[in-house]
Structure 1
Amino acid sequence: MFGWGNTVNGELGLGGIEEEQILSPRELKFSKATQVQQVACGTNHTAVVTNDGQVYTCGNNDFSQLGHNKPRKRLEQVDGLSAYVINNVACGMAHSVAVNEWGQVFSWGSNVYGQLGMGISDTLLVPKVIKTLATCNVIQITCGLNHCLALTNSGVLYSWGCNKHGQLGLGTKATMELKPKPIKSLAGIPIAFIASGGNHTFAVSKSGFVVRVYSFQAVSVYGSRNSSKICVLIESSLPVSWHFLGNPESCLCATTHETQKSSEV
């Protein structure tokens, strides 16, 4: 695993080094018996899932987003998840979310906008199960700055947290949702994968041809512009295979038989 960029908060897990910025990729070594399966980055913290399903975090801990008692400049295991096999993690600005092998969702850290999905707005020091999703088998999660989405194995998409910019796609004027709610406008459309930027979100259907976006920003697609706080259908002649979201930029990747093309949105 390699990391680079800002390291003031220990988010690269390199320990107490003097450099505040790492300008080129630097390797972060685990023990030989441990392999990294996935990594997720928040604003100033990092979470890693290993091949044995354990979660390690490092970086800023002002809102308990590490699941530890103190900030860490080296990756340290999240003891509150050690009894579970974790498949997926995601990080927001100052909160973290994880999904275990049974599809249970855990969250911890900042909760100002209800982004932990607990029905309250209190910060959580350690991971806790989101009870609203207890009967769902969640297979994907994604976090924006202060919002989250969860995709179930049946293709149903839930969202919660900050909604000041319509990033939850619920079609309501509420500025936040404290518990996960299904996105009704996507009912009947099986979703394949999801991604969140700071204050916007994308979802791609299993057909790969239909992309839906809910955002506070104008969206430019093949020269067209639109603006919405609910789900908007984006028609594409290319099957979307993956997408990546930043804050606020986005990129969709489409694959054809002859070549690979990317389209900036």
Structure 2
Amino acid sequence: MPPKKAAAGAAASRKSTRTATTAEPVANGVSKTTTKATTSKTATKTASKSATTKTTNKAATKETKSTMKDAKKVPATKAAAKAPAKKSNKRKAEDDEEEPKVNGTKRARTKEATPVAEDESEEDEVEEQEETPEKAAAPKRKAPATKAPAVKKPRTTAVINSAPTDPLNVYVFGDGTNGELGLGNGKNCAEVKRPRLNPHLDADSVGVVAVSVGGMHTAVLTKDNKILTWGVNDQKALARNTEWEGGLRDIDDDNSDSDSDSDAGSGLNPKESTPGEVDLSGIPEDTVWTQVACTDSATFALTNDGLVYGCGTFRSNEGVFGFSPTTYIQDTLTLIPELKKIKQLAAGANHVLALDNKGCVYAWGSGQQNQLGRRILERFLKNSLVPTQFGLPKQMVAIGAGSYHSFAMHKNGKLYSWGLNSFGETGVTKNFDAEGESDVHHPTIVPNLENFGTVTQVEGGQHHTIACTDKGEVLVWGRLDGYQLGLKISDIPGEKVVMDSHDKPRILKVPTQLPGIDAVAVAAGSDHSIAIAKDGKAYSWGFSTNYQTGLGISDDDVEVATHIDNTAVRGKQLVWAGAGGQFSVIAGLAGKETVVNGVNGHA
């Protein structure tokens, strides 16, 4: 096996990837997805899955190391994978695109100035009466006392979101050759086969309270109102300076005398591979953060008064698309002025949804796969970078996103979806043609959910979807030929499945319950998934070449939902999961263990 090298510097070679998780805005964060890399381990599998179909490529400047199942629409490059590429641990030497212009300015929220009341009193003029011999002069009138100016209290914005407070233990696993795991730049930090507690995120001293996973980066909120980020920063998704003057080093160099995880010469950029504080200069000091949301190349943060800040950029089929109509790449957090009173964010590969306090949904980013729910004219493409409402009714209560498709939940329990539908990932099968045009251009009610509970959380991978209901049911649909859905394929009734040209099951058309899991949270990576059960256990399945399932398996994909179990997480009360392209993150309540029959620990 050839040695792995990791490059430092802006021009270093990198692979692509994309995350999953946009999750429900619970006390803990949410995340999104990327594609599998073609590796020697999966080469024969990939050949059997190579039927032509439409897909898109997640945005980022990295070359993917994931295996991409055939697709029809393929966006240009993306760190989170969608283009078929050989597994590589090196970054691209240079980008094909023109060097993007970086905007370093920050638009801070401004407070209304306190007007000073005008002085309403003047000294009255006093008429002097002429003295006459008959009458003495009239006494002068006293001038009224001057009134002090009225003091107007500064206007305060109503708090509509609560910051999460429960500190979490954060566990990571999968591929970290570009710093995605946040374990630092040690020799043993680039590939983690099973869950490992991140020592840089100690629950007592740091106190992570919310998490979001992007294609190749992660963002967290802390108990003291800080935002920390780590991972790939090629397009400023980390919202901080990560320039490093270190050099190249072979991670697998047999001549190295150091076995230390903290060895600074291990090849990774320590400023990217170690959690670091986001630059908040220019942000009002009284800002309170309540949620973070990561796309493939951008990060967004929500405040307690419903404002949204963001950084990074969006990508389209042609490459870097832009952060806003006037900014190509935004290098620090800046206010998104069109958004007010927002309650929740959900991030796809290259688009974002925002839900406000009236149940209205806004969408912006790249809309080339109809994930924005509205038509974008070619000559006005940059308009898609402006958050805009579209054809959804009001009174939505939650939102979710896949890589290139979107969801919104109505208060009446109906689930709406729209966007890319090449593999039935929206759940809308009317006029569905697995080999033809099947995108859902406008929000449409997802059928076949009436026999289940109300959907409370929904996440999408590249071409599959996983949802959780108020009854704890785990529902899956979409692409299944890479074991993305966790079901034993031979047990699925034939009428629910679309076959490929070789008469092999390829697509699950209707939402189907995953047996044996009573869930509280779910997450979708590019082609793998994770579910967290009420008893605090985590389950995973799907593509596992880079150990992103946390099961220690890389030779084979995992067909059915399998319990993630090692000493790091055994007996812990896990409550949240997020999935990227080739890595995953799970989180548990600090200091709490599962209780079985009154006893802490494993059943």
Q: Can you give the 5+ residue segments of structure 1 that lack an aligned partner in the other structure? A: none
The whole-number CA distance in structure 2 between the counterparts of 1:168 and 1:220 is 15
Question: Residues 151 and 138 (structure 1 numbering): CA distance in 2 closer, same or farther, change over 3 Å?
Answer: same
Structure-1 residue corresponding to 2:538: 262
The answer to whether the 8 Å contact 2:477/2:485 transfers is no
1:7-18 matches, within 5 Å, as 7-15=233-241, 17-18=242-243
Aligned equivalent of 1:242: 521
Quote the Cα distance in structure 2 between the aligned partners of 1:67 and 1:120. Answer: 14
CA distance 1:107–1:136, change in 2 (3 Å): same
> Are the counterparts in 2 of residues 10 and 59 from structure 1 also a CA contact under 8 Å?
yes
Out of 388, 402, 427, which is 1:128 matched to? 388
Please tell me the residue identity of whatever aligns with 1:224: K
- The aligned counterpart of 1:229 is 508
- Number of the residue aligned with 1:144: 402
Matches of 1:116 and 1:25, distance apart in 2: 32
Select 1:95's aligned residue among 329, 345, 351. Answer: 351
How far is 1:222 from its partner? Answer: 7.3
2:412 counterpart residue number: 154
Q: What's the counterpart of residue 117 of structure 2?
A: none
> What is the Cα deviation at residue 157 of structure 1?
0.8
1:214 aligns with 2:477: yes
What is the rounded CA distance, in whole Å, between the counterparts of 1:144 and 1:66 in structure 2? 21
Aligned residue for 1:114? 370
In structure 2, C-alpha distance between the alignment counterparts of 1:128 and 1:221, rounded to whole Å? 32
* CA spacing shift, 1:141–1:63, aligned 2, 3 Å: farther
Q: Percent identity?
A: 26
Alignment partners' CA distance in 1, 2:329 and 2:402: 22
Higher RCO (C-alpha 8 Å, min separation 6): 2
Contact kept? 1:252, 1:264, Cα under 8 Å: yes
Distance 1:247 1:222, change over 3 A: closer
Match of 2:450 in 1: 187
Matching of residue 167 in structure 1 with residue 453 in structure 2: no
CA distance in 2: counterparts of 1:142 and 1:67, whole angstroms = 25
Aligned equivalents of 1:263, 1:231: Cα separation in 2: 22
Cα pair 1:243 1:251 within 8 Å, conserved: yes
> Greater shift after overlay, 198-207 or 65-74?
65-74
**Partner SS state of residue 22, structure 1:** helix
Distance change in 2, residues 1:222/1:4 (3 Å): closer
- In 2, distance between residues paired with 1:71 and 1:127? 17
Q: Give the CA deviation at 1:118.
A: 1.1
Quote the residue 2:207 is aligned against. none
Contact 2:428 2:447 in 1 (8 A): yes
What CA deviation, in whole Å up to 9, does each residue of 1:161-180 have, x standing for no partner? 11112111112224311101
- Larger Rg computed on CA atoms: 2
The answer (yes or no) to whether the contact 2:428–2:446 under 8 Å persists in 1 is: yes
Q: Which amino acid aligns with 2:276?
A: R
Relative to the length of structure 1, the TM-score reads 0.87
Query: Does the C-alpha gap of structure 1 residues 220 and 43 become closer, same or farther in structure 2, counting only changes over 3 Å?
Result: closer
Over 3 Å counting, the alpha-carbon distance change for 1:211 and 1:79 in structure 2 is same
Instruction: With the length of structure 2 as denominator, give the TM-score of the two structures.
Output: 0.40
CA distance in 2, matches of 1:213, 1:104: 26
Equivalent residue runs for 1:16-55 within 5 Å: 17-19=242-244, 22-28=272-278, 30=280, 31-55=284-308
Q: 1:222 to 1:3 in 2, by over 3 A?
A: closer
Does the C-alpha gap of structure 1 residues 42 and 56 become closer, same or farther in structure 2, counting only changes over 3 Å? same
> What secondary structure sits across from 2:338 in the alignment?
helix
CA distance 1:106–1:27, shift in 2 (3 Å): same
The runs of 5 or more residues in structure 2 that have no matched partner are 1-226, 245-268, 315-319, 493-505, 542-603
- 3-state SS, counterpart of residue 48 of structure 1: strand
Tell me how far apart the structure 2 counterparts of residues 13 and 184 of structure 1 sit (CA, whole Å).
40
Cα gap change, 1:203/1:120 in structure 2, threshold over 3 Å: closer, same or farther?
Answer: same
The residue that corresponds to 1:204 in the other structure is 468
Q: Following TM superposition, by how much is the alpha carbon of 1:92 offset from its aligned partner in structure 2, in angstroms?
A: 1.9
Q: Alpha carbon RMSD of aligned pairs, Å?
A: 2.3
SS in 2 for 1:76: strand
Q: Structure 1 residues 154 and 29, CA, compared in 2 at 3 Å: closer, same or farther?
A: farther
Q: Which residue identity does 1:147 align to in structure 2?
A: H
* Whole-angstrom distance in 2 between the partners of 1:67 and 1:188: 44
Cα distance change of structure 1 residues 252 and 66 upon mapping to structure 2, 3 Å threshold: farther
Alpha-carbon distance change, 230 to 199 in structure 1, aligned in 2, over 3 angstroms: same
* Greater strand fraction, Structure 1 or Structure 2: 1
CA distance in 2, matches of 1:60, 1:223: 36
Q: Residue by residue, what CA displacement relative to the aligned partner does 1:149-192 show, whole Å, maximum 9, x if unpaired?
A: 11122221111011112111112224311101010111363212
Aligned residues: 256
2:427 and 2:419 mapped to 1: Cα distance?
A: 11
Secondary structure of the residue aligned to 2:523 is strand
| 1:86 is the counterpart of 2:342 | yes
121 and 162 in structure 1: CA distance in 2 versus 1, 3 angstrom threshold? farther
Please state how far the C-alpha of 1:29 moved relative to its aligned partner.
5.0
Residue type of the alignment partner of 2:299 = T
Distance 2:325 2:291 in 1: 18
Q: Is the 8 A contact 1:11 1:60 kept in 2?
A: yes
